[in-house]
Each structure stands twice: as C-alpha cells, then as structure tokens.
Amino acid sequence: MTDTRATILVVEDEPEIRRFLRSALGAEGYKVVETGTVKRGVIDAASHKPDLAIVDLGLPDGEGLELIRKVRAWSPMPLIVLSARAGEAGKIAALDAGANDYVIKPFGIGELLARVRSALRSVVRPAGGGHVLKLGGTTIDLDARTATRDGAPLHLTPIEYRLLTSLARNTGTVITQGQLLREVWGPAHESDTHYLRIYAKQLRDKLEPDPLQPRYLITETGVGYRLVCD
C-alpha cells in the first residue's frame, strides 16, 4: 500500500521542540519531515511536496516570514506559524505574507494538532469559483447570492455577501482585518475597522445560533476573522 498519510514539514531549529512535534505528529499518523533553516526549508518544501508546513518565525539563517513568502509564491499548501512573539503585529505580518494560521509558543500539543487538522481540511477556492457555503442550518450560494436558514429564505445585503465571499475563499484560515477591509470596501478603508465590527455583528445575528459565542464567524482578537465550516 502506498503511503497515504499526510506529510508535514516542520521548520524549527530547537531540537527539544522538534522532538515533541515529531512524536505528537507521528502519533497522530502524519509523516514528518524536519529541517532547521530557511534555506533547507525552501528546498524541502519543493522536494518533499508536503501537505502542510509548520514554520518557526525565528530561524538561525533568517526570518520564517521569508520562507513563507517564497513557498507561497508557488504553493497553496497550508502554512502554520510558530511564534514566540505574542504581539498582534507579528501575527498580522505572518498572515499577510501568506500564512494560514499561527500558534503562539508556549503551546499545548492539543492546540497545535487542532490547527493542523483544521488547516488540512481547509479548502482553497479559486476567486471566482462557484460554490455554496453550509454553516449549520444555513446554506449560502455565494454566486447566485441566495441564502436559506432552516429552509426559510434569508436576506443578506450585498456587502454581507462580499464579506462572506472573502472569508470563504479560504475557510479555516485567518484573514486579517486589513485584508478584509481592502477587499470588501477598498484600499481607502483599510483602517475603518468599525465597518467590519458592524457587519460582523449583522452577519452573526443572521447566521449564528448564539451570536455572542459564535461557531462559524470567529474573531481573532486584534488580528482578523476566520470562517469555520462544519
């Protein structure tokens, strides 16, 4: 039988961190490829064609951001960033460079594995591709711009559709608020975060069973939003 397990590339220079990543990812049934530098990481990403990469931001020969930009230039593979820095600016920089998600050190392995599973599930959709979103009892046809909730028609405004379309292009992935504002309202409104807050609330009121503790439209405080499908 050929090896059908997902391959995960780990780019991390700390041997002790690599050790527990290797054992936990291996125990989950993933095939692990390890490397410790930006240079080797770029090469291994091309030669091993992993299904996902976990990238430490501080590597001995450069910034993990550099690796993310290089890999993102040719591959849509999910990239999860490990960062010791808790600052929101660092997370935003990594996401804008093309990372799909981030985990802050120190982290529990449960948290990392959940992100890995979610990232492997996430589907990258072409910008104009026709598709239908299913969020619990709500079905949204992003092309036809029709929606139903529990069988009854649900009205969404054009901006609400645009916002959902931007989020749905890469479900499970954190989209930064700057990116959403640029895509939905235009580059002039990049810092008008109140637009986002108001429309996020409207969407939650329409889509979420409990808008205060949302299941589908998740806020990454200070960073952006992610859309989670069942």
Partner 1 sequence: MPEHAQNTPLLRNWRGYLAALLAAVACTLTGYAMQPRFDLVNIAMVYLLPVVGIALLSSRGAAVFSAASSVILFDVLFVPPAGVLNIEDMQYLLTFAVMLLVGLAISSLRERARREESGRISHAIAAERERMRSTLLASISHDLRTPLSVMIGASTSLAEHGEQLPAAERRALALSVSRQAQAIAEQTEKVLQMTRFELGDLALQCDWNSIAEIAGPVLLRLREALAQHRLLVDIPGNLPLLRVDAPLIAQVIGNLLENAARHTPPGTVIQLKARMLEQAVEVAVEDNGPGLPDAVLERLFDRFREQRIGNTSGGVGLGLAICRTIVKLHGGGIHAMQRAGGGTRFAFTLPAEAAPQLPEENESTRP
Which of residues 55, 108, 121, 125 is near partner 1 by CB under 8 A? 108
Which of residues 15, 29, 60, 106 is near partner 1 by CB under 8 A? 106
Q: Which two tokens stand for residue 101?
A: 């998600």
Alpha helices in 73-192 (DSSP H): 88-97, 109-121, 158-168, 177-185
* Cβ-based nearer residue to partner 1, 120 or 195: 195
Interface with partner 1, residue 49, by CB under 8 A? no
Q: For residue 37, what is the DSSP state?
A: S
Considering only residues 153-172, where is the footprint of partner 1 by CB under 8 A? 153, 155, 157-159
Which of the stretches 25-33, 38-46, 93-101, 200-208 binds partner 1 when contact is defined by CB under 8 A? 200-208
- Name beta bridge partners: 104: 83
Interface with partner 1, residue 66, by CB under 8 A? no
Cβ count within 10 A of residue 221: 6
E-strand stretches of the chain:
7-11, 31-35, 52-56, 58-59, 62-63, 79-83, 101-104, 132-135, 138-141, 146-149, 152-153, 175-176, 217-220, 224-227
Interface with partner 1, residue 184, by CB under 8 A? no
* Cβ-based nearer residue to partner 1, 51 or 208: 208
Distance CA 216, CA 210 (A): 10
Which of residues 113, 218, 228, 229 is near partner 1 by CB under 8 A? 218
Interface with partner 1, residue 220, by CB under 8 A? yes
Determine whether 131 is exposed, middle or buried from the number of CB atoms within 10 Å of its CB (0-12, 13-18, 19+). Answer: middle
Interface with partner 1, residue 205, by CB under 8 A? yes
Interface with partner 1, residue 76, by CB under 8 A? no
Residue with tokens 């069942």: 230
- Name beta bridge partners: 62: 59
Interface with partner 1, residue 146, by CB under 8 A? no
Distance CA 52, CA 82 (A): 13
Which of residues 86, 127, 144, 188 is near partner 1 by CB under 8 A? 86
Which of residues 58, 98, 136, 214 is near partner 1 by CB under 8 A? 214
State the nearest-atom distance from the C-beta of 41 to partner 1, in Å: 27
* Element spanning 205, H or E: helix 193-207
Which of residues 143, 148, 197, 209 is near partner 1 by CB under 8 A? 197
| Residues near partner 1 (CB under 8 A) | 86, 88-89, 106, 108, 153, 155, 157-159, 191-195, 197-198, 200-202, 205, 211-214, 218-222
